[in-house]
Amino acid sequence: MSIAEDEATKYVHGDCHALAWFSNVNTAKESYIAGRTTPPTEAEIEACIQYLRDSAGNFGMMPLTRHQFRKLAKGILNTARRTVTDD
């Protein structure tokens, strides 16, 4: 079971409010997984870029261009998303 599937199961079985919005458990699980595994949004990428810029000194990072920060941020977010879909 992937991390996203495991999280979805825990969510729908652990939160009675989640089931109030859906006609069945499978729909709730599928919706959770779809939201959890979508590609990163521009807002998420921008938030990651800002975090990396603010924290660059903590990681010993060299100064990067905006394009380099964007590529790094997108890679980090994509890696996190792939991880939740791995079995």
CA torsion through residues 34, 37, 38, 40, sign: positive
Whether the CB-CB separation of 73 and 79 falls below 8 Å is answered with no
| Same-domain pairing of 2 and 25 | yes
Q: Based on the domain organization, do 87 and 70 belong to the same domain?
A: yes
- Specify the pLDDT at position 64: 83
The C-alpha atoms of residue 44 and residue 32 are separated, in whole angstroms, by 18
46 with 32, same domain: the answer is no
The model's pTM is 0.62
53-to-4, 46, 58, 73 alpha-carbon distances in Å = 29, 10, 10, 10
Which pLDDT belongs to residue 3?
Answer: 86
**Quick one: pLDDT at residue 13?**
75
State whether 58 and 79 are in the same domain.
yes
Q: What is the span of the domain harbouring residue 53?
A: 40-87
Reading the chain (87 residues) residue by residue, the pLDDT tens digits are 688 888 888 887 776 565 556 567 788 888 888 888 888 889 989 998 888 888 877 777 778 888 988 998 998 888 888 777 765
CA–CA gap between residue 30 and residue 84 (Å, rounded): 14
Residue indicated by tokens 């870029």: 49
Per the structure, how many domains does the chain have?
2
* Pair 87, 51 in one domain: yes
pLDDT at residue 23, rounded to an integer: 65
